[in-house]
Amino acid sequence: MVPGVVVPQRAGWRRLLTALIGEPVALPHGLAARWPELSRVRWRVDGLPLRVGGWCLGQRTVTGITLGRTVFLAPGTPWAPRLLLHELRHVEHFSAVPAFPLRYVCESLVRGYARNRYEVDADAFATARLAGAPPPPLPLPGA
Ligand SMILES: [Zn+2]
């Protein structure tokens, strides 16, 4: 085997793996300097979770979705601070709210996606951080 040469069979596996779990990407330095808390997140591009999130919303994919400490971004998604901060708040939800995924789904079923209190909180968090305000506390259902 020659180093640096991609064997077609391995390229196929790599594409499959990327479709399933995405690929790790580094947060742009300027964003990490402005919002250091974004460095706590594992960022990946692509992956099956984006499609599953999209299916739940009746669309092909979503722009971003959070699972634990990992945020999956759709390929080609700009590094928009509002989106990144929104997803960071979901990382905090995962660590602070017991059974967060289940509660999130219940919120969406009862209130709908846009009025899901975790979505409202993530939007408020992003707005506050973009304005330079300190992060609001986590007064959330189930927290
Ligand atoms: Zn969200």
What is the per-residue pLDDT across 14-60, written as a single tens digit (0 to 9) for each? 899 988 999 999 999 999 999 999 999 999 999 999 999 999 888 99
Edge-to-edge strands, sheet with 42-45: 23-25, 42-45, 70-73, 64-67
Q: How far is the CA of 45 from the centre of ligand 1 (A)?
A: 17
Candidates 70, 67, 93, 81; CA nearest to 36 is 81
Full-model pTM: 0.87
pLDDT digits (tens, 9 = 90+) for 85-135: 999 999 999 999 989 999 999 999 999 989 999 999 999 999 999 999 887
Report CA(13)–ligand 1 centroid distance (Å): 31
Residues lying with their CB under 5 A of ligand 1, a single-atom ion: 119, 122
* In the block, residue with structure tokens 């998604």: 77
The residue among 98, 80, 100 whose CA lies nearest residue 90 is: 100
64: three-class secondary structure by DSSP? strand
